[in-house]
């Protein structure tokens, strides 16, 4: 009894530790995603370079994933996971280091103002001489790149070694539920990561070292940089804490619920259903006791890969996951921007809503899928049915989301004319009008101001403003001639800093969109654990860690790095107004054509999910065909046994020809 209690404690401790490690890595990874914009602004680097920095995590992961997942399965898996967490923590701390080496952040200001709040001054933005001070390019972003690379290397052992350890030493019927619990705790990581990112995005980067009252921008401004560095210190500490329990866990455990003396028989009696779905030619490869030397392992690596990819079900699963992950990565990367551009919410609020609404729905869906498998004791085919049903349901909700829309933001010269009439063509010349011709305004800058008639102008100059009052965030521009054209005489001809809020029923449409998005997240997540079970039960015991590692390698190579690139390139084609850097050159996009953005973004995601559903259908047919073949084979064996019993009136002796009879027992 004491032995069984110790085994149970070790399994439970490993489950809790692995769940916390999943939480920590997801917490850190999601925070990196939420802080990408802040890093881009802080180091004043192009989006292409930001893509390289963001992709360095995947590059680091890919450098070692195949070898860690294969060779790591032969060594002390818990300690390898501990080492990985330690490397991740070092990478997180390294990413925060540049903040302490650089000076205070200086943002570009395009409007001159007086320090006297009660003063009124004449402004002519188009005639203001802005001195361009070219500073030496900072290469401090290289620390961020190397830190993210280390994060990718450190995260490598957690998933393949952790999942294979759980599946090896837990009861067969408990594995789906355990995996669901681990992934559910793990999904809380992105929720807290996005919430931390949203919170720190509102805190100025140089908090504690500058007077915040002197700032002329808010967190909604495109020049604002939040306290991105503080988040990496927090996430690094959490990851470091998650490594501690793994140092004290054993290398291996007997199967949960079995006596010590039965442990050998337990490993020999592998899951019958899993054996059935393995290729017949691969079932001959018994796992033998071999000396754990690097030469022996390296010699067997290529044959193991060949055996793995000869499994058609496994190969089809990888292809299906690859297509689905392309759609998911594109969705999660640009979802905050989609909510910002289509429904008019700030990036901070969009990140916050994703964290408190979508991610809990995903967590609930994962745990629900695991519970369904355990409650109804579904096999491989049953798990595939659950996965394909959830995938089809999420596809239907995505199709509906394409038609949930808001009108374009009303920006004079871009989406509407200066008389408020919608226009089709957009170029630099449409920003000029009779009301602002006398000012010789620049059409390159983006300093949006909102008039009391609800129309946004790209700058105070293009609004025809003559004077201003106040300082910083409270600055108001007066005597704006373009505003006067839209209003009756005597009305307020002033504008305020910032873009106008959306009109009409946009808030109502946004609520519909979020409802569909949350429900779709739940339904899609319900198929996560069943899909994992289909994958695990379709591969051999000794290839399990390698299979999970190769899945991670392939999916992250072709599903993690390319989507942000081609999604971003297509989204950029819908841009209406590009920003301008301080010393010239094109900056980030300031406003998009919301209809083109919506159709491009949601259409591409829906197309990828549709293809994923088609592949799930092909995979399901292969599983059903395999199941029927198994049933016919088992029925033939039963008939042969019955025939032998009838032909001999006294006794029948038969030797089974499967793995379960390796102990040479006979039935008489």
Fold of 310-406+504-639: Growth Hormone; Chain: A; (1.20.1250)
User: Per the structure block, which two tokens stand in for 500?
Assistant: 């106008």
List Cβ neighbours of 613 (8 Å cut-off, separation of 6 or more): 388, 391, 392, 395
In b/e form, how buried is each residue of 494-505, taking b as 16+ CB within 10 angstroms? bbbbebbebeee
User: Do the first three CATH levels of 1-122+139-254 and 310-406+504-639 match, i.e. the same topology?
Assistant: yes
The arithmetic mean of pLDDT across residues 255-265, rounded, is 49
What is the mean predicted confidence (pLDDT) over 440-460? 82
pLDDT at 6: 65
Task: Indicate the domain borders of the chain.
Answer: 1-122+139-254, 310-406+504-639, 429-497
Q: Which residues of 430-465 are buried (b: 16+ CB within 10 A; e: fewer)?
A: bbbbebbeebebbbbbbbbbbbbbebbbbbbbbbbb
Mean pLDDT of 86-114: 80
Work out the pLDDT band at 57, boundaries 50, 70, 90. Answer: confident
Task: Compute CA distances 232 → 50, 56, 91, 96, 350, whole Å.
Answer: 17, 16, 9, 6, 21
Alpha helices in 97-157 (DSSP H): 98-101, 141-155
Q: What is the pLDDT of residue 489?
A: 60
Q: What is the pLDDT of residues 452-474, one digit of tens each?
A: 878 888 888 888 888 888 777 77
Query: How do residues 115-125 score in pLDDT, each as one tens digit?
Result: 444 444 444 44
Which pLDDT score is estimated for 287?
44
Per-residue burial over 11-44, b = 16 or more CB atoms within 10 Å of its CB, e = otherwise = beebbebbbbbbbbbbbbbbbbbbbbbbbbbbbe
- Position 591 scores a pLDDT of 82
Higher pLDDT, 64 or 149: 149
**Average pLDDT for residues 612-628, to the nearest whole number?**
90
Distance in angstroms (rounded) separating the CA atoms of residues 620 and 183: 24
Looking at per-residue confidence, does 333 or 66 come out higher? 333
* Band of pLDDT at residue 319, cut at 50, 70 and 90: very high
Mean predicted confidence (pLDDT) in 30-37: 84
Q: Name the token pair of 174.
A: 């408990």
Which of 416, 433, 432 lies closest to 424 in space, CA to CA? 416
The predicted pLDDT at position 486 comes to 65
User: pLDDT tens for residues 519-548?
Assistant: 999 999 999 889 888 888 888 877 877 887
Of all residues in the chain, the percent with pLDDT exceeding 90 is: 18
**Measured distance CA(549)–CA(317) in Å, rounded:** 14
Please say if the pLDDT value at position 657 is more than 90: no
Binned at pLDDT 50, 70 and 90, residue 587 comes out as low
Question: Using CA atoms, how far apart are residues 244 and 13, in angstroms rounded to an integer?
Answer: 12
Q: What is residue 513's predicted lDDT score, i.e. its pLDDT?
A: 94
- The fraction of the chain above a pLDDT of 70, given in percent, is 77
Residue 340 predicted with pLDDT over 70: yes
CATH class of 1-122+139-254: mainly alpha
**pLDDT confidence of residue 110:** 52
Q: pLDDT, tens digit, for every residue of 151-206?
A: 989 988 887 788 777 777 777 667 777 777 887 788 788 888 988 988 988 889 88
The C-alpha angle 617, 623, 626, rounded to 5 degrees, equals 145
- Residue reference for tokens 């989507």: 563
Look up tokens 């300031």; give the residue. Answer: 590
Question: Quick one: DSSP state of residue 560?
Answer: T
Rounded to an integer, what distance in angstroms lies between the CA atom of residue 4 and that of residue 223?
Answer: 60
Average pLDDT over all residues of the chain: 78
Neighbouring C-beta atoms of residue 558, cutoff 10 Å: 16
Q: Which residue has the higher pLDDT, 66 or 608?
A: 608
Rg (C-alpha) for the chain, rounded Å, is 30
Over range 403-408, report the average pLDDT. 88
- Report the predicted TM-score, pTM, of the whole model to 2 decimal places: 0.75
């Amino acid at each position: 009894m004491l032995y069984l209690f110790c085994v149970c404690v070790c399994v439970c401790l490993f489950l809790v530790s692995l769940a916390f490690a999943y939480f920590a890595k997801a917490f850190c990874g999601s925070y990196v995603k939420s802080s990408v914009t802040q890093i881009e602004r802080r180091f004043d680097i192009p989006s292409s370079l930001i893509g390289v920095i963001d992709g360095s995590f995947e590059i680091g992961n890919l450098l070692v994933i195949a070898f860690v997942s294969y060779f790591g399965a032969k060594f002390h898996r818990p300690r390898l996971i501990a080492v990985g967490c330690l490397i991740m923590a070092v990478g997180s701390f390294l990413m925060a280091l540049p903040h302490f080496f650089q000076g205070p952040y200086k943002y570009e200001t395009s409007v001159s103002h007086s320090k006297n709040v009660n003063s009124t001054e004449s402004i002519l933005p188009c005639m203001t001489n802005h001195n361009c001070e070219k500073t030496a390019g900072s290469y401090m972003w290289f620390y961020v790149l190397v830190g993210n690379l280390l994060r990718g290397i450190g995260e490598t052992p957690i998933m393949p070694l952790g999942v294979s350890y759980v599946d090896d030493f837990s009861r067969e019927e408990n594995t789906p539920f355990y995996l669901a619990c681990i992934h559910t705790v793990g999904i809380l990581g992105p929720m807290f990561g996005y919430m931390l990112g949203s919170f720190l995005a509102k805190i100025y980067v140089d908090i504690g070292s500058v007077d915040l009252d002197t700032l002329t921008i808010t967190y909604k401004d495109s020049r604002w940089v939040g306290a991105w560095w503080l988040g990496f210190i927090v996430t690094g500490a959490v990851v470091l804490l998650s490594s501690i329990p793994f140092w004290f866990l054993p290398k291996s455990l007997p199967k949960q619920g079995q006596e010590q003396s039965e442990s050998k028989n337990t490993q020999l009696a592998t899951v019958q259903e899993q054996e059935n779905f393995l290729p017949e030619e691969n079932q001959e490869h018994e796992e033998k006791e071999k000396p754990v030397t690097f030469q022996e392992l390296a010699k067997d690596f290529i044959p193991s890969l060949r055996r793995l990819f000869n499994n058609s079900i496994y190969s089809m699963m990888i292809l299906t996951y690859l297509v689905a992950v392309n759609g998911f990565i594109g969705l999660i990367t640009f979802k905050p921007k989609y909510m910002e551009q289509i429904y008019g919410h700030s990036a901070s609020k969009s990140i916050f809503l994703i964290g408190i609404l979508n991610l809990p729905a995903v967590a609930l869906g994962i745990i629900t899928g695991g519970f369904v498998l355990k409650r109804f004791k579904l096999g491989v085919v049953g798990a595939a049915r659950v996965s394909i049903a959830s995938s089809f349901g999420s596809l239907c909700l995505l199709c509906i989301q394409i038609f949930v829309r808001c009108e374009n933001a009303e920006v004079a010269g871009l989406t509407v004319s200066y008389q408020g009439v919608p226009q089709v063509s957009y170029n630099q010349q449409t920003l000029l009008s009779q009301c602002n011709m006398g000012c010789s305004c620049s059409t390159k800058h983006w300093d949006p101001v909102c008039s009391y008639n609800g129309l946004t102008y790209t700058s105070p100059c293009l609004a025809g403003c003559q004077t201003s009052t106040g300082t910083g965030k409270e600055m108001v521009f007066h005597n704006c001639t373009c505003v006067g054209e839209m209003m009756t005489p005597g009305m307020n001809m002033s504008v305020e800093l910032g873009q106008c809020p959306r009109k009409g029923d946009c808030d109502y449409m946004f609520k519909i969109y979020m409802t569909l998005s949350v429900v779709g997240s739940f339904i899609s997540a319900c198929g996560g654990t069943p899909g994992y079970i289909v994958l695990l039960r379709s591969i051999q015991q000794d290839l399990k860690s390698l299979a999970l590692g190769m899945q991670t390698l392939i999916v992250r190579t072709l599903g993690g790095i390319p989507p942000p690139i081609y999604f971003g390139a297509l989204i950029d084609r819908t841009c209406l107004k590009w920003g301008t850097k301080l010393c010239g050159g094109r900056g980030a996009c300031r406003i998009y054509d919301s209809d083109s953005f919506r159709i491009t973004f949601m259409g591409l995601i829906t197309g990828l999910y549709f293809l994923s559903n088609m592949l799930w259908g092909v995979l399901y047919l292969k599983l059903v065909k395999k199941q029927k073949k198994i049933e016919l084979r088992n029925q033939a064996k039963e008939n042969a046994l019955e025939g032998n019993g009838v032909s001999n009136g006294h006794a029948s002796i038969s030797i089974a020809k499967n793995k379960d009879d390796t102990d040479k027992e006979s039935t008489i």
